[in-house]
Amino acid sequence: MWPDDMGNESDFHVSANGRHAPEAAIVAEGVYKQYHIGLKEQRYDSLLQSTLGWISSPVRNWRQLRRLGQISSDDADDVIWALRDVSFTVNRGEVLGIIGRNGAGKSTLLKILSRITPPTRGRITLNGRVSSLLEVGTGFHPELSGRENVYLNGTILGMTKAEVDRKFDEIVAFSEVEKFIDTPVKRYSSGMRVRLAFAVSAHLESEILLVDEVLAVGDAAFQEKCLRKMGGVAEGGRTVLFVSHNMQVIQQLCHRALLIHGGHIVADGLPAAVIEQYLEDSSANPVPEPIVFSGKAGAIRLKEIRLIQDGYEVGEFVDNHRALQLLFRYDVLEPVRNLLFGFDIFSRDGAHVFRTYDLAAAGMDERLPGSYESIYELPADSFNSGHYYLDLLMGVHRRGWLSRGDIRLKMNFSGSMASDVNYPGVVGPMGRWQVRADSSETGRLGADDMADQVQAKG
């Protein structure tokens, strides 16, 4: 539906050399954004100190609060730069994907583009009306009916009443809640609410659309419908900027992708290449030295990750035809209950292959501070040849993550046999085939034969 070859060969940066230089929809020049993290909690060791601190706290609080809204010198210690010198151009009708890890600056960039927050330096020119889907359903009021909320939400998103009037039937039809349109939204199921909210957003008449992860809502069928609508939006000549962690969606929808890391643009090009760089970059040398991950759920010092086959460390290159042991060595620094230690496996195009935790083996009991090893054994012949990525997961059941995707490991699977052929597909389990003459034609199919056939599925 969204052919990969749309704009395969053109370099979107350059618009000056073509006869039909496409007009730029977005031009960002040297954009910086500074945030004050501010409001650090002070710690006191004695009753006297904390009393004095408490008495003087109004003055200190006032100073800190006042700083929140100011711009300070680059290296003040309560300052972080969410974006540094970001420049890019997006042409009219282009669908641009923005990828990067959490905290890389993707969302900050969208917030600046949608004028929620101003840049600290730099300049962005937008040619056309902008609407943003940073979150669907903002401003929905539970006491109001679906109809009233469509009007309210529509005008919040920048439509006029006349525009909503014109699109109203279409919006309601898209949301599939016609029957309940005059019922208060608080009586809706969460799915209905999301559908209605997305329907409003999807019908915005803007030339530039900014989208942040909103497709992670609703059931699969509705998501599919939204994706189709988004694809249609792009084909209608509108420019779309799309932030997502879902590499498949980026691959499917976007003509071009930007990779942001630490507030910089580090790659810009065709989605497939940028996604590969993203996965590759973030997997180089995952644990050069012990790293401490701590949060309110607990604290863990990760020391080592090793890939072992037949008792030998194999590094990145894994023989697909042998079992692989993944060994994780870590210290638990605070007593922790229900620790989840595990990982996600992704294929090179970003598809999520599976997730696993050591919880079943470790049990739910409290883990006392000390050194631990968790070992996972991947059976032989699980994957196809090629790259896979492992994202380490550490968290506490129901209390939150300590780390998710901060540590990424690249694994290069390859078959050792010369006869190996690369088939398409994310996994390549060596199921057992059987081929035989069809005996049912000649009469009976024995119970024993049936058992064999079931086994043959492997």
Partner 1 sequence: MMKSEQIVIEPVNGWQFVDWWELRDYRDLFRFLVDRDIKVLYKQTVLGFGWAILRPLLSMVIFTVIFGNLARVDSDGVPYAIFNYVALVPWLYFSTALSASALSLVSNTDMLTKIYFPRLVFPMTPVVSKLVDFVISFVIIFVLMAVFRIALTIRVLYIPLLVALMMLTAAGTGLWLSAMSVQYRDVKHAIPFLTQILMYAAPVVWSAALIEERFGMIGRILFGLYPMVGVIEGFRSALLNTGPMPWDMLAVGTVSALAIFISGLFYFRRMEAFFADVA
Interacting residue ranges for partner 1, rule: CB under 8 A: 35-36, 62, 65-66, 68-69, 111-130, 132, 134-135, 138-139, 141, 143-144, 148, 151-152, 155-161, 205-207
- Nearest Cα neighbor of 157 from 194, 108, 199 is 199
- Kindly state the tokens that stand for 205: 């008449």
- Whole-number minimum distance, CB 269 to partner 1, in Å? 25
Q: Which is nearer to partner 1, 42 or 117 (CB)?
A: 117
CA–CA separation, 140 vs 186, rounded Å? Answer: 10
- Whole-number minimum distance, CB 174 to partner 1, in Å? 19
- Whole-number minimum distance, CB 219 to partner 1, in Å? 23
Q: Which is nearer to partner 1, 145 or 325 (CB)?
A: 145
- Whole-number minimum distance, CB 71 to partner 1, in Å? 8
Identify the three-state secondary structure at position 119: coil
- Whole-number minimum distance, CB 181 to partner 1, in Å? 16
The angle, 0 to 180 degrees and rounded to 10, between the axes of the packed helices 161-175 and 146-156 is: 120
* Tokens 């800190």 sit on residue: 64
- Whole-number minimum distance, CB 116 to partner 1, in Å? 5
DSSP result, 212-265: ESGGG-S-HHHHHHHHHHHHHHHHTT-EEEEE-S-HHHHHHH-SEEEEEETTEE
- Kindly state the tokens that stand for 455: 């086994």
Q: Which is nearer to partner 1, 159 or 241 (CB)?
A: 159
Give residues with Cβ within 8 angstroms of 423, minimum separation 6.
Answer: 384
Q: Which is nearer to partner 1, 69 or 288 (CB)?
A: 69
Torsion of CA 292, 294, 298, 304, to 10 degrees: -20
- Whole-number minimum distance, CB 157 to partner 1, in Å? 7
Q: Which is nearer to partner 1, 80 or 375 (CB)?
A: 80
Q: Which is nearer to partner 1, 89 or 120 (CB)?
A: 120
CA–CA separation, 132 vs 238, rounded Å? Answer: 13
CA–CA separation, 45 vs 65, rounded Å? Answer: 24
- Kindly state the tokens that stand for 204: 């915005």
Q: Which is nearer to partner 1, 214 or 226 (CB)?
A: 214
Q: Which is nearer to partner 1, 81 or 293 (CB)?
A: 81
Beta bridge partners of 294: 299
Q: Which is nearer to partner 1, 64 or 248 (CB)?
A: 64
Helix (H) or strand (E) holding 309: strand 298-309
- Whole-number minimum distance, CB 184 to partner 1, in Å? 8
CA–CA separation, 152 vs 133, rounded Å? Answer: 15
- Whole-number minimum distance, CB 127 to partner 1, in Å? 5
What are residue 165's phi and psi, to 5 degrees? Answer: -50, -50
- Whole-number minimum distance, CB 25 to partner 1, in Å? 11
What are residue 298's phi and psi, to 5 degrees? Answer: 160, -170
Residue 237 CA to chain centroid, in angstroms? 26
CA–CA separation, 34 vs 31, rounded Å? Answer: 10
Q: Which is nearer to partner 1, 159 or 302 (CB)?
A: 159
Identify the three-state secondary structure at position 2: coil
- Nearest Cα neighbor of 174 from 144, 152, 204, 148 is 204
